[in-house]
Amino acid sequence: MSKSSNSVPLEQLTESEIVFLQRYPTLDKFYKAFGPDSWRYALEHVDKAVNTVVPSLNRLNLIYNTKDADVALFVKHFLGYYLMVERSGKELGKDVCTNVAAIFLGRNGAECTPVKLLCYFANYPEFKDTFREFDPEDIIIQYNKKFKDWWGSQVAKYGYTTEKTQTDDKQPCGLAALKLHVREWIEQGEDPRQHLLYKAFHTITDEMITEAEREIALGVF
């Protein structure tokens, strides 16, 4: 039986989860990519976020063969927002963090993904419906009350569909479509610049490939 680097039998993971684990092989890399440090990136790249395939929060413990990876990610965002808005200097109790995380994940863990959670906290000030600067109950409520509708509107606007991306094959492809191919080639250990037929057919230059590589390297999505 084949196993991942985290000793999880690969047979227990989906193909997309295996690819995800290959890209983020450690929890440190995972938390860095999907934690509060990426709020600004999420605000600026929602078009990429809605097209990013990642596992749900309740699959993280299996993928990384650990406990509470989902709780830890939520708490990082929760504490990050608290530290951003709370000016009293009071510390937030660990029990408060874990209790709120348990409630949120109990309600949303099967549907919410690291990307959705990232985008939710990045945009939470737009959803907030309370006079209090920091309201744990409101953070739990607004995910279902406002965020899901907002996310659906972004998917409708930016979501990758066959209808939106079908073009004349002789026309240049967009950067988003090119990135999908470049990422796949890189993950397979291939040099994107050697795909001469693809470049010629879609009028792709080395400069366009370099730009796609730059965005892939800099971005979470």
pLDDT digits (tens, 9 = 90+) for 31-80: 999 999 999 999 988 988 988 888 999 999 999 999 999 999 999 999 99
Looking at residue 188, its pLDDT comes to 72
Whether 41 and 96 map to the same domain: the answer is: yes
Percent of the chain with pLDDT over 90: 50
Domain contains 2: no
Whether 115 and 44 map to the same domain: the answer is: yes
User: Within 10 Å of residue 166's Cβ, how many Cβ atoms?
Assistant: 8
Whether 17 and 95 map to the same domain: the answer is: yes
Q: What predicted TM-score, i.e. pTM, was given to this entire model?
A: 0.75
pLDDT digits (tens, 9 = 90+) for 5-26: 566 767 888 888 888 888 889 9
- The number of folded domains in the chain is 2
Could you tell me which residues come within 8 angstroms of residue 121 by beta carbon, excluding any fewer than 6 positions away? 36, 39, 77, 78, 80, 81
Whether 22 and 117 map to the same domain: the answer is: yes
DSSP assignment string, 91-160 = PPPHHHHHHHHHHHHHHHTTT--HHHHHHHHHHHHHH---SSS--HHHHHHHIIIIIHHHHHHHHHHH--
- Which one is predicted more confidently, 6 or 204? 204
Distance CA(168)–CA(154), nearest Å, equals: 26
Percent of the chain with pLDDT over 70: 84
Residue 6 — φ and ψ, nearest 5°? -95, 15
The arithmetic mean of pLDDT across residues 96-115, rounded, is 97
pLDDT at 104 over 70: yes
Distance CA(66)–CA(119), nearest Å, equals: 24
Mean per-residue pLDDT over the chain, rounded: 84
Domain contains 5: no
Domain contains 196: yes
Q: Tell me which of 137, 158, 179 is where a domain ends.
A: 158
pLDDT at 166 over 70: no
Looking at residue 217, its pLDDT comes to 62
Looking at residue 167, its pLDDT comes to 43
Looking at residue 165, its pLDDT comes to 41
Domain contains 171: yes
Q: Tell me which of 106, 141, 158 is where a domain ends.
A: 158
pLDDT at 91 over 80: yes
Q: Which domain holds residue 68?
A: 10-158
pLDDT digits (tens, 9 = 90+) for 177-188: 777 777 777 767
The arithmetic mean of pLDDT across residues 143-147, rounded, is 98
Beta bridge partners of 9: 3
Q: Which amino acid is residue 142, in one-letter code?
A: Q
